[in-house]
Amino acid sequence: MKHLAMLLLLAVAATGAASESIVNSLGMKFVRIEPGSFEMGSADGEFDERPVHRVNIMRPFFMATTEVSNAQYEQFDPAHRALRGKRGISKADDEPVVFVSWNDAVKFCEWLSKKEGKPYRLPTEAEWEYACRAGTTSAFNCGDTLPEEVRREQFDKSTFQRWSRGPRPVKLTVGTMTPNAWGLREMHGNVEEWCLDWHGAYEPGEQTDPVGRVSGNMRITRGGSHNTGTNYLRSANRQGTLPDDKHWLIGFRVVMGELPETKPLPPPAPEPWARDVPQVKFAWTPPVDMAQPFFAAPEAFVIIPPKSNGPVYADHNHCPSITWCDNGDLLAAWFSTSWKSGGESGRCLSVVASRKRAGRKQWEPASGFFLAPDRNLTGTALFNDGQGTLYHFNGLGVADGWGDLALVLRTSRDNGATWSAPRLINDEHRWRNQVISGTSITKAGILMQPCDAHPSGNGGTAIYVSRDGGQTWTDLGDGTLKPEFKSGNTGGTIAGIHAGVVESKDGRLMALGRGDTIESRMPVSVSADMGKTWTYSASPWPPIGGGQRLVFMRLREGALLFVSFTGDYDPKKSKGLEFTDASGKTFVGYGLFAALSFDDGATWPVRKLLTPPRGAEYKTQGHTPKFLADATYAEPRGYLAATQSPDGVIHLISSGLHYQFNLAWLKTSPTPPATAGRSANSKEP
C-alpha cells in the first residue's frame, strides 16, 4: 500500500504541482505544491550536496510565486525603508527585500500568520529544492545552462576583482523571470532565499519530510543571487550564513502550511580535534632546561589526505593561527580551499583545524572547524587569554572575495572541545574586517584584534579593542581606506597589512606590517592613544610581499620577538640580510629569520635565521614552494603565526610547518656556514 501511495504521489508531481493558487491581503500569490518525491543533491556538486538521496514530500503546501518585496516586508517593518538601495541594490517597491536576517524573516512570518490567521513560515530546505526542480533533474529547472533572461550580473568564474569593488547595481524586480513548471519565479538568482534548516551534512538513505539538523551554526539559503557565479544558482546548491547576518544578496520567500512533524536529525559527531579532549590542567613542564638552547626540527602540521575535496581540501591550505590550551595541547586553524573552485578569493573555502595533543610528537589530520557554506572565510585568529578562555575570530564574507567581510567571534572554556555560538561583533560587511592572527591583551586587560583595512597588498591594518572581556568591540581607527603612509604622518590606520601589534612598556602600541613601505623599508606605526591615531616611520627591516606574513609579539621573558623574511621570496631577487656567526664574522642569509629587542624596539641586537642546524628539504603548503634549508637559507615564504606556551617554548607556524624553539636558542649565535648554499635554492620560483 505504501508503494502504491508513493506511485500516486509521483503521478501527481509529474503532471504539475501548481493546481491551485491563493492571493493574500498583502498581494502575495501562492501556488499549491503537491506531494511527491525527488532526488535531493548533486553527485557532481560540492561536498555538502552529497550524497544524493531520495526525499518524499508527503503533504501539500503553498509557496509564494515570488520573493517577498520591499513593499510587502515594510508593512511589517516600516523602518526597513531606510535600507533600500544600500550598496546600490533593491530600491523599488517591487524589488526583493534584502538586508534581512533569518531572524527577521521568521518574525515576518509570525506577524503574517497572526495577520492572516493562517500558518506562514520559511520553507524547509527539502521543500525548497523540490519546488525549485519542479520535476527536473538538470542543474537548473530550465536545463543545464542559464538563459540570459535569468542572469542578473552573473559571471561564470570567481573574480576577486569584482568583489573587491562590491556589487554592481542591477534591477531585481520580482515576478519578471519565466516561471518554472509549477509557477514559481526567480528560483534561480535574483536574491538568495532563507530556508528553515540549519546547515549540516546530508545523511544517506531515503528520507521523508526532512527538516534538517536539530542545531548548528549556519542557516541555509538557496537559489543563489545577482552578482555571483552561475554555479551557485543551481537547484542543488547549498549556501548559508549566521541567522543574524544580513546583506545585499539575501532575501526570502514564504510558504503557507504547517511545518512537517518530522524530528530533526541529531547534531553531527564531533570532529577529531574536538574528541576526547582532556580537561585536566597541564603542568607545562619545559622540554629542556630553558636556560639552554632548544630548537626542534620543523614538522608538518597541515596533514591532509591526497585528493581531499571538501571541507578539507588537499591543494591549498593557508593563513594559519595557533594557540596553546590549558590542558597542554596545541590547536591550529587555517583556511582550506581548492584553486579549481576559486581559491582564496572564491566561495568553496572552509576553516579547518588540527590538534597536537600533549605528549604526542605529531599533529592530527585536519578536519572541519568553521564553515559558512559558499562564503569566503578569509582570516582566522586563535588566542588563549591565560584565564581559561580560548578566542576564535573569523571573517565572514558575502560571497566571493575577502573585501566585504563581517567579523565573527566565538569562545571556548573547555580547551577548544566545544565553542559558543558564533556572534557578529561587527555585522557590517566591509573592508577593515579581515582577521589577522596576532590577538593580544594589554597590561590593563584590553583585548586587541588586528584586521586588514584593505583587500589589496597595501592599505594598512585596523585594530579592534575590547575593554569588557570580549563582549563589545570597537574599531578605534577613523576608517580611512587608503591613508597616506609617510614618515612623520599621523592617521587612524596602522601602516601595512597583516600587521603585528604589541604594547610597549610605557603603554604605547607599536606595529609592523607588510606593504605601504616607507623609505624602501617595512613601516613601523606607533600609537599613544590605544589605536585611535598612529605615527609612521621606517623600520630597520626589509619589506615583504606576496605569500609572506610576519609575527610581532612580546615574549613571556619581556623581550619583543619579530619574525619575518629577508625580503622577496625569490632568492634570485632577494638581497638577503646580514647575520653574525659564532666566530663574529658576518654572512648573508636568506628567508625566515627572527630578531629580538630588549628595549621596546629601539634596538634589535639579536637576529637569527630560523633554519635547522643541518640542511634538509621541506615540502610545505600555501604559496611556499618546496625548499632546501641550510645554514644560510631558511623557508622563503609563508604566512606566519606564533604562540608561546607557559613552558617558554615558542611555537611558530608557517603555511605548513611547525617550528619550536626558545629564547636561549635565539640568543645563541649560529655556527659558521660551511657553504653559501645559494645554488641549492637558486631554481626556486
Q: What is the pLDDT of residues 504-535, one digit of tens each?
A: 999 999 999 999 999 999 999 999 999 999 99
Domain with CATH 3.90.1580.10 in the chain: 2-254
Mean pLDDT of 132-160: 86
Task: Give 665-683 pLDDT, tens digit per residue.
Answer: 999 988 877 654 443 443 3
Q: How many CB atoms lie within 10 A of CB 628?
A: 15
The pLDDT, as a whole number, for residue 20 is 87
**641 class by beta-carbon count within 10 Å (0-12 exposed, 13-18 middle, 19+ buried):** buried
Task: Give 175-207 pLDDT, tens digit per residue.
Answer: 999 999 999 999 999 999 999 999 999 999 999
The pLDDT, as a whole number, for residue 72 is 98
Task: Give 340-351 pLDDT, tens digit per residue.
Answer: 888 898 899 999
The pLDDT, as a whole number, for residue 11 is 41
Mean pLDDT of 622-627: 88
Lowest-pLDDT choice from 164-178, 254-268, 363-377, 629-643: 164-178
Q: Distance (Å, rounded) from C-alpha 392 to C-alpha 418?
A: 12
Q: Distance (Å, rounded) from C-alpha 370 to C-alpha 367?
A: 10
H or E element in which residue 112 lies: helix 102-116
Is residue 630 within 8 Å of residue 665, measured between CB atoms? no
The pLDDT, as a whole number, for residue 161 is 45
Residue 149: all three cell numbers together: 533572461
Is residue 641 within 8 Å of residue 353, measured between CB atoms? no
The pLDDT, as a whole number, for residue 2 is 39
Q: Which residues pair with 657 in a beta bridge?
A: 300
What class has domain 313-427? mainly beta
Q: Distance (Å, rounded) from C-alpha 658 to C-alpha 365?
A: 14
Strands 434-435 and 534-538, by their bridges, are unpaired
59: Cα within 13 Å, side-chain hemisphere: 14
The pLDDT, as a whole number, for residue 671 is 80
* Residue 632: DSSP 8-state: S
* 227, pLDDT greater than 50: yes
The pLDDT, as a whole number, for residue 8 is 39
What band does 477 get if pLDDT is binned at 50, 70 and 90? Answer: confident
Domain with CATH 2.115.10.20 in the chain: 313-427
Q: Distance (Å, rounded) from C-alpha 629 to C-alpha 619?
A: 11
The pLDDT, as a whole number, for residue 3 is 40
What band does 574 get if pLDDT is binned at 50, 70 and 90? Answer: confident
Q: C-alpha 327: how far from its chain's center?
A: 26
What band does 166 get if pLDDT is binned at 50, 70 and 90? Answer: confident
Mean pLDDT of the residues in the chain: 92
* 479, pLDDT greater than 90: no
Q: Distance (Å, rounded) from C-alpha 623 to C-alpha 340?
A: 15
Q: Distance (Å, rounded) from C-alpha 542 to C-alpha 568?
A: 9
Preceding omega of 311 cis (within 30 degrees of 0): yes
Q: Which residues pair with 526 in a beta bridge?
A: 510, 535
The pLDDT, as a whole number, for residue 157 is 58
Lowest-pLDDT choice from 244-248, 303-307, 389-393, 673-677: 673-677
What band does 156 get if pLDDT is binned at 50, 70 and 90? Answer: low
* 614, pLDDT greater than 80: no
- Give the SS3 label for residue 267: coil
Mean pLDDT of 630-644: 95
* Residue 345: DSSP 8-state: G
Residue 380: all three cell numbers together: 582566522
The pLDDT, as a whole number, for residue 373 is 97
Task: Give 65-98 pLDDT, tens digit per residue.
Answer: 999 999 999 999 999 999 999 999 999 999 999 9
Mean pLDDT of 247-257: 98
Is residue 215 within 8 Å of residue 183, measured between CB atoms? no
The pLDDT, as a whole number, for residue 573 is 76
Q: What architecture (CATH level 2) is domain 2-254?
A: Alpha-Beta Complex (3.90)
* 59, pLDDT greater than 60: yes
* 160, pLDDT greater than 70: no
| Percentage of residues of the chain with pLDDT beyond 70 | 93
Angle value at C-alpha 625, between 624 and 630, nearest 5 degrees: 95
| 163-172, 372-381, 563-572, 606-615: which is most confident | 372-381
The pLDDT, as a whole number, for residue 483 is 78
H or E element in which residue 677 lies: none
* Continuous H helices in 512-667: 663-667
* 10, pLDDT greater than 50: no
The pLDDT, as a whole number, for residue 164 is 57
